[in-house]
Structures are given as C-alpha cells and as structure tokens.
Structure 1
Amino acid sequence: MECVIYREQTGEGEHIDCRQADGGCEVTLDRLGMLKPDEFAWIRLSEPAQEELQRLGEYLKLHPLAIEDAVHAHQRPKQERYGDVLAVAVKTLWFIEQSADVETGEVMIFLGPSFALTVRHGAMDPIAEAAQRLDRQPDMARLGPVSVLHAVTDVITDAYTQAAAQVRTDLTDLERCVFSPAREDRTEQIYSLKREVVEFRDAVQPLVPVLQPFTAARDDWPHQVVPYFRDVADHLTRTDTEVRALDDLLSSVLDAHLAKVGTWQNDDMRRISAWAAIFAIPTMIAGIYGMNFDHMPELDWRYGYPCALAAMALGAGLLYRAFRRNGWL
C-alpha cells in the first residue's frame, strides 16, 4: 500500500509510511483520520488481498459491492455512485510486440470527499506514471481527488493510443504479406490479430460513455477540471475510431486472403484437370489397342506401334499447347 497526502492549496504531496501493524496499515488509517479540510489522500493498492481491501473499505465506508468488484477485477469499464463515493472501473491495455498479443488489466478508482483510492490488477502500472504527472502538475493536485481520476485515465488513454499504433503497424505488415506473390497461408495469423483487436475494442469502446459525463460541468467538481476531461475524452474517441477501423480492415483483409486462397485452389484444380486431359489421350489409345480382340485394324501392320506412340504424343502436345495458351499450365 502507498499513500500520499495532497494539500489542495499548494498541490504538494506528502508520502506516508505504510508500516504494517497487526496485519493492517494502522499508521496510514490513523493519518487519514486526521486530514485537514484542504487535504486529500491518494491510497494506492496493487492486487490487494481481500482482507486488506475489506478492512480499508470499512474504514472509508465503501460499499461491499464496490469492494467485491475491486478484488475480483473482472469488470467492464463503468462508473457507479455509492452515496458520496464514485467508483470507476477502467481497463488497462498494453501490446506485446514479440507475440503480437494485447494484454489487459484493470484499475478501480474510488473518489470520496477527501480521498482517492486506486486498486490495480495486471502487469501494466499506470498509477506510477499518473503519480509522476500529478507531482509535476501541482495545479492539478489543487483540484482535489478528481485530479487522480484525470491523471489515471489520461495515462491509460495514452497507452491505448500507443497500442493502437503498434497494432496498425502489424496490420500493415500483414497486408503486405497477404497481397504479395508468395503463396503463404496467413489465415491463422490474421484471425489471431483480429482476436486481439476485439479484446482491444472491448476495453476502449465501453469507456467512451463512461468518461463522457465528466466532460460537462458538475456541481460536486471544480469547473477547471472539465477541459482536461474533454481532452482525455477526445483522445479516447479517436482511439475508439481507430480500433473500429482496424477491426473492419482486418475483416476485409481476411476476406481478401480467403478469396486469394480460393484462387490458389482453383489454379491447382485447373492444372490437375489439364494434366488429366493430357494423359487421357495416351490412356485412351493404349486402352483401345490393349483390348483382347483377334480382328482389329493395324494389329498386324508394321508401323502400327510407332504410329500409336506418335498419335499419343501429338494429341498430348496439342492439348498441352492449348492449355498453356489459356493460362491453365
């Protein structure tokens, strides 16, 4: 657990020692009970145990459903109001370039009158970057706990933008491979990337309506924070549009690749059919003269055998030339 006490008058932050005492963070809880009217605390938890969060939630008067959501971390992006506490769930997302995988985590943000609580799940840590930004912008910290919500969502939205750019690069490379002359089956690779984009879309798309209410003036928030949330919402909307375009483009690339695979199969069938027709003529002639009849023309003719071979070669050659001119071979 980390805890920082911010003073709204100066925007400065004081880090509080979180020594464990009797299985809980007694020092932090005692300090939270002595906050001044112009101070608020930012408490940061990373994949906490249920007992730890339960104890802290009871002290901060968090709703049991909110605590359950923060512990299990399987929520769609959403916002909920529990009395005077606002709970916002946001998906974190990062792109693994080596495997072209999109990994997701989750951050739960609780805003109370004098505190902000963030609970992180997953390998990506937007909280550290958000804390650094807030330390560099004391004017934002003066706006109270809502500044934490802005800082965290701003970092996560920037990560969305970077991940979308990396997915776009992979998709461009995949398009070049699909439309290259090489005959390589890319169906599994395209489908795998499309599955990652769907996971990307599931993180970004539901967050757009969640942040939209924050772009309007609210009675319980300083009006100075509204332009900052509008900037975050604008970046998120652009990323959402980009992800939708990537999803549609991947569907088109998959359709084009499947059509190309079908063309390869048609070419193969034409070649097989052409060679079967070519070999049909020698087979037919050999079959006719291989029948066991006593009275057949040319059986006793001296030049019958070479003429039969010549007819086979001529018929096969004419068919081969015709198929070559028509592009079948």
Structure 2
Amino acid sequence: MPTSLPTPARDTRRPGSRSLRPLSGVLRQRRPAPPKKQDDTLPAETRAPGPRRSAVVASAIYVDGVRTSSHTRLAETFRALRSQPGGMAWIGLDRPDAQELASLAAEFDLHPLAVEDAIQAHQRPKLERYGDTLFVVLHAARYDDAAEQVEFGELHVFVGPDFVVTVRHGVSPDLPAVRGRLEADPQMLARGPEAVLYAILDAVVDGYAPVVAGLENDIDEIESQVFDADAEASRRIYDLSREVADFQRAVRPLRQVCHALTQGFGKYDVDAELQAWLRDVVDHLTEVAERIETFRGALRDILTVNATLVAQRQNEEAKAQNEEIKKISAWAAILFAPTLVGTVYGMNFDVMPELHWAYGYPFALLAMLLVSAGLYGVFRFRRWI
C-alpha cells in the first residue's frame, strides 16, 4: 500500500516490512531503534515473578489479507514477520506481564510510557502517537442479563506500519470474532493495520448497542418500581446512575479519539472506504452518546419523582398517625373525666359538702356521665373520633 509521506533518503525500515498510508495523520514509516534490553524498557519491580501462563491469545502473519502463518510464541512471530516481505503481524494478548510486553517493546520500538499504561490498565479512552506508533485505549462494555448490570473491559491497541498489537483487560470485546470477520474478508484485511483498527473500533461501538438496550429496560423497570412503592427503588436508581455514568466515561472520550482519527482526512490520502466506514462508526457512537444523555436525564427525573412520592407517602403516614393520636387523646380525655370526679369525692376530709347528702352518690355518677358525654360531643364535632 503506497504511503503519502515523502520517501526518506535512506530506507531504515526492518527488512520485509511494508510502507503503509498513515491512519488519519498519525502513522508514518517506522525507523526501528536498536533492540533494548528488558531492564532498560521496564523497571524490574514491574515484572511478574515466577512462571505464568502465556498471555498470547492469537498471533499470525498476514500477506495481502491472507493468513500465512500462526504462532504461539512471540519470538516465532518476530522471525516470521522479518521473513515475509509486505507482511503484517497481528498479535493478541490477554493481561500480559512486563516480560512479554518488554519483548514487544524491543521488537516494535514501543514507547515505555505506552507499555506502562498497557500493563497497569485503568486508563481513560485516548489516542496518542509515540514516534511512528499509534497507541489507542478503548473501553468496551457488555450487559450481563443475569446480574442486570454492565461489565466494562479495557483494550489497548498498538498500531504500526506493519503490526497491530492488542492488549486486553477484561472479557470484552470479542476480538476472536473480529479476527474471524476480517479473515473472511481478505480485501478488507489487505488494507493493513488501519483496517484492523477500524474493525476493532467497530466491534467496540457495536457492543454498546446491547448495553443501551439493557439500560433502557432497567430504567423502564425502575419506573414501575417507583410507582409501586418498592423500597429497593432508591438503591437501584443509585446503582443504575453509577452504571450510566461509567458508560458515559467510556463513550465520551472515544468520540474525541474518533475525531482525532478523522480530522486528518483532508491532509493525508487515507483509503476512501476506510474513511466512510470510520464515519459510520462515529455516527453510531454519536447515537449511543445521545441515548446516554437521555438516560441520565430520565434517571434524574425518576429520582425526583421517587423523592416526591416518598415524601408524599411519609406525609400520608404522618397524617394517619396524627389521626390515631387524636382518637387516643380524645378517649383518654373522656375516660379521665369520671376519674377526676371520682377522685374529688374520694378525698378523706371530715368537712366536705354532700358527704351526708342522700343524693350524693347518684349526683356523682350523673356528673361523670354528663362530663364524659359533653367531651364526646365536642370531640365528635371536631371529628377526632
């Protein structure tokens, strides 16, 4: 594939590597530096002690879009790439350690800062260029139907003139499916590392669609919970709001990454079809970002409605309790009146009126009854009982 950059006076590329057009102005021909020792590339304390499983998930050499060889060890891949003029290496790694990335850094002249980011992970989506190597960080997402929650995975991609290295931290995206789809379309894969990066971006953005559908379904369920006075609604609104915020942190910077890739179209002669396909990815990503904004607004509204309904229910409960307190207080007052009359006539004094009165006892009972009836009438009129 011809390059759009001026040809240097002396070709210092590794034997067998081919010249590719830069991706949106960030790729150019690579001048390999002398191999570095592992300890010069990465600090010793970052290397994992003891033996571990190989992080190489898939490693293959492609010529004109066709796989010519597959390897299980990085050293074999390097030798095969050197012996294949015009070949491209596509290496997939899953949570590699410092030693494995050190060999890649020495072979492909990867910048130590990018290698450190790929080991430690927990990076925000971004696009950086170190010399002639493009370093892209992507956040993939997957919706777990059983747990009804979103799982995020981090993917680091190194793209050079004749190689693509993917470093995955998490279960998504499905890179074997991306590789299979590209291998089934040799014409697309023949466009080189640019096509591989596009396919990975497309897979990551396509993976957002089930997440959007799952979150939308969760929001519908939360609305039902809120109006059904479910006690767990508030907690679920909070958890879902955090998931939507995390999802937005994965999508929003990716729009900037895609913008950085497309802004060089007018300056560099990038393949026209790749331009169109990348714009299609940007369109899908924009739609996802708009849906996320809608979700955040809907969750804010649901949270407000839930708070209003909770306050309303509390007011109704307080009102009901107040009515009960009124009834209890009214009957307590009615029962207190006879007690008060009985207490007065039960005092032991020698000189008291009506002690020797023949109608004293009926009079006391009548007083009790009249006072109680009067209080009952008053409380009944005030609708306390």
TM-score range, shorter chain: 0.7 to 0.9
Shift of 1:113: 0.7
Residue among 178, 191, 199 paired with 1:151: 199
- Check if 1:3 corresponds to 2:64: no
CA distance in 2 between counterparts of 1:35 and 1:157 reads 33
Shift of 1:279: 2.5
- Check if 1:119 corresponds to 2:167: yes
CA distance in 2 between counterparts of 1:282 and 1:315 reads 12
1:12 aligned partner: 66
The one-letter amino acid of 1:202's match is R
* SS state at 1:164 partner: helix
Alpha carbons of structure 1 residues 221 and 119: separation in structure 2 relative to 1, 3 Å: farther
Greater C-alpha radius of gyration: 2
CA distance in 1 between counterparts of 2:134 and 2:215 reads 33
TM-score, normalisation: structure 2: 0.75
TM-score, normalisation: structure 1: 0.87
CA distance in 2 between counterparts of 1:13 and 1:299 reads 115
Alpha carbons of structure 1 residues 99 and 318: separation in structure 2 relative to 1, 3 Å: farther
- Check if 1:208 corresponds to 2:255: yes
Report which stretch shifted further, 275-284 or 62-71.
275-284
Shift of 1:152: 0.7
Provide the identity percentage.
30
2:92 aligned partner: 44
Q: Counterparts of 1:158-307 in structure 2 under 5 Å? A: 158-180=206-228, 182=229, 184-216=231-263, 217=265, 219=268, 221-291=270-340, 292-294=343-345, 300-307=363-370
CA distance in 2 between counterparts of 1:317 and 1:177 reads 40
| Root mean square deviation of aligned Cα | 2.4
Report which stretch shifted further, 116-125 or 234-243.
116-125
2:186 aligned partner: 138
Shift of 1:117: 0.9
1:98 aligned partner: 146
Moved over 6 A (4+): 295-299
How many residue pairs end up in the alignment?
A: 313
Query: 1:7-66 CA deviation, whole Å, 9 max, x = no partner?
Result: 23xx222342224xxxxx3211111222313x2111111111110011111111000011
1:76 aligned partner: 124
Q: Which runs of 5+ in 2 are unaligned?
A: 1-55, 346-352, 355-359
Query: 1:212-261 CA deviation, whole Å, 9 max, x = no partner?
Result: 13234152743331001001111011101111111121111011101100
The one-letter amino acid of 2:366's match is Y
